[in-house]
Amino acid sequence: MSDVIISFAKVNKWFGQFHVLRDIDLDVARGERIVICGPSGSGKSTLIRCINRLEEHQEGHLSVDGVELTDDVKAIEKVRREVGMVFQQFNLFPHLTVLENLTLAPTWVGKMPKKEAEERAMAQLERVRIAEQARKYPLQLSGGQQQRVAIARSLCLTPKIMLFDEPTSALDPEMIKEVLDVMIDLAGQGITMLCVTHEMGFARSVADRVIFMDQGQIIEQNSPTEFFANPRSDRTRDFLSKILSH
């Protein structure tokens, strides 16, 4: 199974008494694009945050690109270099310019010479169509622009896997499209993507698989066509009827 890049085996996690992930079994193939949806509190963000160890699981096994995630700091560092993440609140560094936000990790983590890091950063900014803002500070940009910068930043270390944690939820409606367009571009380039989102149009057009979670469990997973046309469980049907009703 060399084409499996992420593998969850009986993963369990609790926040105090709250059982947030229950017996998660999930294999993600290299290059696969997965959309994860579900009601709030269902554990979908926690699931992807376990992949780069922003959250630690307490039971079961989780390995990413052949590295098992444990308390081993070296393993965690190795995994984080392979995995990029985009957050709902962008989390850009406000004291650094856009360009400095992008070059920080390549120069310090990747030990890349400054000039090379800047060239690579500019290329990423071109890719998200925002190169002209390179010298500005994040708070001088609109939400959509900031999120595109955040995507470019996470691409600078050329990750094999990209995680998106509700990337458009904090955006004004007219800015959602510019971010989705960038994500669709990215999806066409063979990178493994896991995206927590309620943008069902995005799921339909780019996902290989849609996963529905509720109460810490994976309830249902299927190709988008099947998932939307023939949801198998009542909970999925109920959820879809709520978010697709308008």
Partner 1 sequence: MAAANAMRSLIAARPAPPRTAGSLSWLRRNLFADWKNTLATLLVVAVLVDWLPFVIEWGIVDAVLRPDNAACRALEHAAACWGVIAEKYRLILFGRFPFAEQWRPLVGMVMMVGLLAVSCLPRMWNRWLPVAWVVLFTCFFVLMRGGFAGLSFVETAQWGGLPLTLLLSTLGLGAAFPLSILIALGRRSHLPAVRAFCIGYVELIRGIPLISVLFMASFMFPLFMPPGKTPDVLLRVFVGITLFAAAYLAEAIRGGLQAIPKGQFEAADSLGLTYWQAQRKVVLPQALRMVIPSIMNSFISTFKDTSLVTIVSLYDLTGSLGLALNGDANWRQFYFEGYLFIGLIYWIGCFSMSRYSQWIERRLAADAV
Encode 64-95 in three state secondary structure: ECCEECCCCHHHHHHHHHHEEEECCCCCCCCC
Cα-Cα-Cα-Cα dihedral sign, residues 228, 231, 236, 239: positive
Q: Which CB, 87 or 227, lies closer to partner 1? A: 87
Q: Which CB, 4 or 104, lies closer to partner 1? A: 104
Provide the minimum distance between the beta carbon of 166 and partner 1 in the complex, in angstroms, as a whole number.
Answer: 13
Q: Which CB, 44 or 153, lies closer to partner 1? A: 153
Coil, strand or helix at 34: strand
Q: Which CB, 10 or 95, lies closer to partner 1? A: 95
Provide the minimum distance between the beta carbon of 182 and partner 1 in the complex, in angstroms, as a whole number.
Answer: 18
Q: Residue 184 in contact with residue 202, Cβ under 8 Å?
A: yes
For residues 195 and 164, give the distance between their C-alpha atoms in angstroms, rounded to a whole number.
Answer: 5
Max CA distance (Å), the chain:
55
Binding site for partner 1 (CB under 8 A): 52-54, 77, 80-81, 83-85, 87, 89, 91-95, 104-105, 108-109, 137, 139-140, 153-154, 157
Residue type, 93: F
